[in-house]
Amino acid sequence: MLWIIMVIAVIAAVILVDQISKILVLAYLYEEQIDLIEGVLRFTYVENRGMAFGLLADHRWVFLVLSVVGIGAVSYYLFRYVRRNLSRVGLALIIGGGIGNMIDRVRLGFVVDFIDFCAFDFWVWVFNVADAAVCVGAALFVLDLLLDTASEFKKSRALKASDEKSEAHQGEGKDG
């Protein structure tokens, strides 16, 4: 039961930090740019009317419906099937980020993006706290799946080795 409180706290924290950061951006950064680390990181105000990285702009209602369905599906999976805390945290980050961006789409008609890593010539996208939460959450979920798969593989190898050792020991007893 404690894990449910943890999941709700993570979701709420992501939404809170995301929405506060966007309110501050709208109040103080609108149509401006602030260099935080010259040539590396800056805050740049962007109105994202599409999905991730601005793709499929101006399809607001499609994204709202997909967001509700996606958040519902991830929530159902989280509360019904997930048993490991790393996966729980990862999925909670994804849910919180999805809700944070959905709030923007309903309230503003677009998503406020402002985090701009300008150090990389190939990285041209501006994102927000919710986007970062979704990406980190997905990475944690995949990492937990990989760790679980590796653990299961080690267990099956150990069991197989134990069975082979047992069969070899039984075979010695029959010959003697």
Strands (DSSP E) contained in 86-172 are 111-117, 126-127
Active-site residue (options: 18, 104, 113, 144): 113
**Is 113 one of the annotated active-site residues of the chain?**
yes
Please state the domain count of the chain: 1
**pLDDT truncated to tens, each residue of the chain (176 aa)?**
899 999 999 999 999 999 999 999 999 987 778 888 888 899 999 998 876 655 566 667 787 888 999 999 999 999 999 999 999 999 999 999 999 999 999 999 899 999 998 887 777 788 999 999 999 999 999 999 999 999 999 988 888 878 777 777 776 666 55
Quote the domain boundaries for residue 113.
2-175
d(CA 73, CA 47): 27
* Percent helix, percent strand, percent coil in the chain, to nearest 5: 70, 10, 20
d(CA 137, CA 92): 7
Active-site residue (options: 131, 144, 163, 175): 131
Residues 6+ apart with CB under 8 A from 86: 140, 141, 143, 144, 147
**Is 131 one of the annotated active-site residues of the chain?**
yes
d(CA 64, CA 73): 14
